[in-house]
Amino acid sequence: MSVALTTLGSSLLALQQADSFFPGGAVAWSWGLETLVADARLGTPPAATTGRRQRGLRQDCSEQVRAFVEGQLRHRWNSFDRAFLDAAWQAADELPTLMMLDAQVEALTLAEELRQGSRRVGQSLLGVHVALGTPGAAPYQHQVLAAATPGHLPVVQGLIWRKLGMHREHCHLASAHGLCTGLVSAAVRLGVMGHLDAQRVLTDIQPLLLELQDTAPCTPDDASGFTPMAEIAVMRHETQDLRLFAN
CATH of the domain at 201: 1.10.4190.10
Q: If pLDDT is split at 50, 70 and 90, which confidence band does 239 have? A: low
Q: Does the residue 16 lie in any domain?
A: no
CA 149 to chain centre: 20
- The residues, ordered by sequence, that sit 6+ positions from 229 with a Cβ below 8 Å of its Cβ are 32, 36, 41
Sign of CA dihedral 121, 71, 242, 111: positive
Could you tell me the residue range of the domain that residue 102 belongs to?
A: 60-239
What's the rounded Cα separation, in Å, for the pair 191 and 174? 26
User: What is residue 47's predicted lDDT score, i.e. its pLDDT?
Assistant: 44
Closest CA to 237 of 96, 114, 72: 114
- In the DSSP assignment, the letter for residue 133 is T
Distances (CA, A) of 232 to 85, 112, 117, 120: 25, 11, 14, 19
Q: Residue 32: its pLDDT value, please?
A: 78
Instruction: Measure the N-to-C terminal CA separation of the chain; round to a whole number of Å.
Output: 36
Whether residue 228 is predicted with pLDDT greater than 90 in this model: the reply is no
Cβ-in-10-Å burial (0-12, 13-18, 19+) of 31 comes to: buried
Looking at residue 113, its pLDDT comes to 86
pLDDT (0 to 100) of residue 240: 63
Q: How far apart are CA 245 and CA 33, in angstroms?
A: 9
Residue 223 clears pLDDT 50, i.e. is over it: yes
Residues 85-135 have pLDDT tens digits of 999 999 999 999 999 999 999 999 988 888 998 999 999 999 999 999 999
Rounded percentage of the chain residues whose pLDDT exceeds 70: 87
In contact, 23 and 160? CB cutoff 8 Å: no
Identify whether 110 is part of a domain: yes
Residue 50 located in a structural domain? no
CA distance 194 to 184: 9
What pLDDT does residue 50 have?
A: 41
Residues 145-199 pLDDT 10s? 999 999 999 999 999 999 999 999 999 999 999 999 999 988 888 888 899 999 9
Is the overall model pTM greater than 0.85, yes or no?
Answer: yes
**Dist CA 84 CA 152 (whole Å):** 10
Assess if residue 228 is contained within a domain: yes
Within a domain: 212:
yes
Report the domain count for the chain. Answer: 1
Does a structural domain hold residue 12? Answer: no
Helix (H) or strand (E) holding 238: none
pLDDT category of residue 231 using cuts at 50, 70 and 90:
confident
pLDDT of residue 95: 97
Q: Is 55 inside any structural domain?
A: no
Contact 140, 91 (CB under 8 A): no
Any residues with CB less than 8 A from the CB of 142 and at least 6 apart, and which? none
pLDDT given at position 55 = 37
pLDDT, tens only, 17-74: 998 888 887 777 787 778 888 777 776 554 434 443 443 444 567 888 899 899 999 9
User: Would 114 be classed as within a structural domain?
Assistant: yes
